[in-house]
Structure 1
Amino acid sequence: MKAILTICRIELGRILSLKPAFAVLVIASIIYAAFYPQPYRTEALRNVPIAVVDLDGTDSSRELARRVDASADVAVSAVFPDEVSARQEVYSRNLYGLLIIPQYFERDLLHHRQSPVALYADASYFLVYQRISGGVTAVAKAMGAEVETARLIAAKVDPVLAAAAADPMPLTAVPLFNPQGGYATYILPAAFVLILQQTLLIGVGLLGTYRNDEIHGELAASAGPAAVVAGKLLAYLILEAFIVAFYLIALPYLYNIPRLGTPLSIFTFALPFVLAVGALGLILADLFRDPLTVQLVSAALGIPFLFLAGFSWPTEAIPPFLHALATLLPSTSAINGLVAVSQLGAPITDVRLPFLTLWTLATIYIAIAILLESRRRNTEVTS
């Protein structure tokens, strides 16, 4: 036990003294926390600019355009007399949608006939398209229900029955765990876990490529391979206790992300995650043994890790082989579990599958790290 604590103290000192490792494990964590969430702070798109072509020019058509402009999602930035000039603005990307109100719009409504409006929206950006189509559709449906209600009331139907007939099944949508329906609330909790993995993986890999004579020399006789690995992992756990608390407890408060989990449940789930990533970093260092190679390999794997994690690309759309491969990455199970625990307030029993998967990965990676440490010692002795 004394050897483990000694190695832990030495490794913590190396984290603070080796500039490459300190830059990745500490400085990079602060920089990511400060800058990565900034593009998502507005949560959802608002007031996406569109054009309106009013071919009717009546009170009803102007009322429709006014209501669309008053919605939170869409802003009518220009009104054109014809479709050709409006299209040019859309093609120039000055505007992102085009709403065409047909001629005889009001007349058709007064004669109880359908009067369809045309909406052209830029679908190259799915968030923009979603906002435009959703905003205009909601306004059109609401105005259509009002027109139908007024028609029924004019036909001597009871106003309550008329309102029910125009909209017999009103829908009340309640976004659970994401009250604002925003992208930041969805993406940031998962991205934080991936950042924790990448910084720890690269930092531990860099530490392992710099030989330390104090550990591999003076303590070699008294501390076996298991003690060396255990001491290093204990050092990483102490460091990550602060970083995990910063990312999964402090930052959600700072960025107003829903947080229903308790610190105890978060730390409980994060324990096997940190152990698995730390042991994987030791394996990475032993396989490549060069700081530059570790950095290049880790950087190259960053994007695949992002897509295999299952939050930027749906897990259901990932081929089974790649999905099985993704299970070997601690971030895959950690994202599913930590997001549920910290953001949704799920107890550990509800996420036992990813929790047990992380413990399995931690056990396997720690065993491999011990074997590699033992092999390295045998190689040094024979040489």
Structure 2
Amino acid sequence: MNLRLILTLIIKEAEQVIKDHSILLVLFIAPILYFVMMGSTYIKKDEEKVSVGVVDMDLTKSSKSFLNKVNATQKVDITHVYNSLPEAKIGMSKFEIQGIISIPRDFEKKLKKNESSPIGLILNNTKFLSSNDINKAVNLVTMDYALESRQKYFESKGINPTFAEIKANPITTQVNGVYNPTNNYGNFLLPALLVLILHQTLLIGLSESIASDRKKGLMKVGFETSKNNFLTYITGKLGFHLFLYSAYLLFTFLVAFPYFDLPIKGDFLTLIFVSLVFFMATLLYGWFISTFFSSQAVAMEIMAFTSYPVFLVTGITWSISDMPLFLQFISNLLPLKPFFVFIKRHAIMGVDAYLYSHEVIQLLLLLLLGYVAAFLRFRYLQKKSMQIKPMVSGTLDQNGI
């Protein structure tokens, strides 16, 4: 491996990127633009004060007290009062509200008799996060209100207040949320989105560069510059992208994570090391796949098309074990899958190293697999370029190598 030749290849790659507006846009503008867009979308991380409508058929002190307690919760905002359930459902259809709380007649009377008085809750599940917030808030208030009502009932029977409280609530639960104590969507999704942005822009930019090399016959020039040494060529060709995305990586962890109040609970050097392994594996995979394209437009379209499918099969939005077996197999071949798990366990959860060692080993194996695949592809293209002579001196060979 010749350092001088590697530097020459890195400089050539940098010059190619700067001269090609399409690659320049993907590698320099797209990551920052997407960071700002995605970050702005989830900057609050969670939806607060979800609009709710009420239908109070009881109109008593107890029903008003119950609704006031619901309205005092962080997630719910009672914005509309309706006279009937059909009227409230029309309001939901118009998206005036995301949920309906219905208080039945005789609500207070049944409470005083310690009888069951079910409260109706209708949720718009097209926005499942909002509906979950409403459901959780109403159920918590219901449990507290029911406890208070039962305690007053037992006290009215002459039972000591302390024993009345125990009798009213014989079983208690203590819920402690860990890793994402506020249970917000931003902390769950933002780390994965930031990594996905870097992953996809890196692949798209690299694939355009490789496709441009093949179209212009510069790949053969790169082979010759490296003296047909694979390690020299691949280090020089990918070195610029690795340096650039290492800078993005530091920006992500040192600027974006603190700005969005995302935790990094594990060792920072371990985080950087594993992230570099992930990027190197991604670059080798990207180079191998991109060598099958000779059109920048096709390369960009295919890489962009894979963004959402890749995100889906890596286990962020759905459990991998519940996917079909062939999707599980594909998922385990993607560096994103173990890296997402690593980020969650190391940075977000801060667990001990042995709990994410499997993911680190998987990334190293995928790096080795990517290296072998890229090496074999390099040898194939190298032999092909040596066998086919240019049609005219100074022109491209027929295969665009």
TM-score of the aligned structures, taking structure 2 as reference length: 0.90
8 Å Cα contact 1:192/1:248 also seen in 2: no
Superimposed CA distance per residue, residues 334-374 of structure 1 (whole angstroms, 9 cap, x where no aligned partner): 11112322222245443121111111111111222222222
Pairing partner for 2:233 from 228, 234, 237: 228
Q: 1:345 to 1:13 in 2, by over 3 A?
A: farther
Superimposed CA distance per residue, residues 166-194 of structure 1 (whole angstroms, 9 cap, x where no aligned partner): 22333332221213211000001112222
Give yes or no for the alignment of 1:355 onto 2:374.
no
Distance (whole Å) between structure 2 residues aligned to residue 221 and residue 42 of structure 1:
50
Q: How does 1:113-152 map to 2 (within 5 A)?
A: 113-152=115-154
* Structure 2 counterpart SS, 1:68: helix
Distance (whole Å) between structure 2 residues aligned to residue 9 and residue 350 of structure 1:
41
Give yes or no for the alignment of 1:330 onto 2:332.
no
Q: 1:248 to 1:346 in 2, by over 3 A?
A: farther
Pairing partner for 2:36 from 27, 34, 38: 34
Superimposed CA distance per residue, residues 111-145 of structure 1 (whole angstroms, 9 cap, x where no aligned partner): 22111111111122211211111111111111110
Q: How does 1:202-281 map to 2 (within 5 A)?
A: 202-211=204-213, 216-217=220-221, 219-220=224-225, 222-281=227-286
Q: How does 1:266-345 map to 2 (within 5 A)?
A: 266-345=271-350
1:17 deviation in Å? 3.8
The residue identity in structure 1 corresponding to 2:221 is: G
Q: 1:221 to 1:43 in 2, by over 3 A?
A: closer
1:106 deviation in Å? 1.0
Which residue in the other structure is 2:383 paired with? 378
1:25 deviation in Å? 1.8
The residue identity in structure 2 corresponding to 1:362 is: L
Q: 1:285 to 1:214 in 2, by over 3 A?
A: closer
The runs of 5 or more residues in structure 1 that have no matched partner are none
Distance (whole Å) between structure 1 residues aligned to residue 157 and residue 352 of structure 2:
57
Distance (whole Å) between structure 1 residues aligned to residue 16 and residue 326 of structure 2:
39
* Structure 1 counterpart SS, 2:87: helix
Superimposed CA distance per residue, residues 248-277 of structure 1 (whole angstroms, 9 cap, x where no aligned partner): 332110101122123211111112211111
Distance (whole Å) between structure 1 residues aligned to residue 145 and residue 299 of structure 2:
60
- Tell which deviates more after alignment, 160-169 or 198-207: 160-169
Give yes or no for the alignment of 1:197 onto 2:199.
yes
The residue identity in structure 2 corresponding to 1:294 is: A
Which residue in the other structure is 1:367 paired with? 372
1:285 deviation in Å? 1.9
The residue identity in structure 1 corresponding to 2:99 is: G
Distance (whole Å) between structure 2 residues aligned to residue 308 and residue 328 of structure 1:
11
The residue identity in structure 2 corresponding to 1:169 is: I
8 Å Cα contact 1:261/1:341 also seen in 2: yes
The 4+ residue runs of structure 1 with deviation greater than 6 A are 212-215
1:215 deviation in Å? 7.1
* Structure 2 counterpart SS, 1:287: coil
Superimposed CA distance per residue, residues 32-86 of structure 1 (whole angstroms, 9 cap, x where no aligned partner): 1111122222222222222211111211111112112222121221222222222
Distance (whole Å) between structure 1 residues aligned to residue 200 and residue 285 of structure 2:
11
* Structure 1 counterpart SS, 2:291: helix
Distance (whole Å) between structure 2 residues aligned to residue 6 and residue 221 of structure 1:
9
Q: 1:84 to 1:112 in 2, by over 3 A?
A: same
Distance (whole Å) between structure 2 residues aligned to residue 163 and residue 293 of structure 1:
70
The residue identity in structure 1 corresponding to 2:343 is: L
8 Å Cα contact 2:35/2:197 also seen in 1: no
- The number of residue pairs the alignment matches comes to 383
1:9 deviation in Å? 3.5
- Tell which deviates more after alignment, 163-172 or 35-44: 163-172
Distance (whole Å) between structure 1 residues aligned to residue 219 and residue 272 of structure 2:
29
The residue identity in structure 2 corresponding to 1:289 is: S
- Tell which deviates more after alignment, 363-372 or 252-261: 363-372
8 Å Cα contact 2:226/2:233 also seen in 1: no
Distance (whole Å) between structure 2 residues aligned to residue 41 and residue 165 of structure 1:
45
Distance (whole Å) between structure 2 residues aligned to residue 87 and residue 192 of structure 1:
39
Q: Output the aligned Cα RMSD.
A: 2.0
The residue identity in structure 1 corresponding to 2:297 is: L
The residue identity in structure 2 corresponding to 1:317 is: D
Distance (whole Å) between structure 1 residues aligned to residue 11 and residue 269 of structure 2:
25
* Structure 1 counterpart SS, 2:79: strand
The residue identity in structure 2 corresponding to 1:45 is: E
TM-score of the aligned structures, taking structure 1 as reference length: 0.93
Q: 1:302 to 1:112 in 2, by over 3 A?
A: same
Superimposed CA distance per residue, residues 79-101 of structure 1 (whole angstroms, 9 cap, x where no aligned partner): 22222222221222212222111
Pairing partner for 1:5 from 4, 7, 12: 7
- Tell which deviates more after alignment, 38-47 or 205-214: 205-214
The residue identity in structure 2 corresponding to 1:58 is: T
8 Å Cα contact 1:269/1:338 also seen in 2: no
1:217 deviation in Å? 3.0
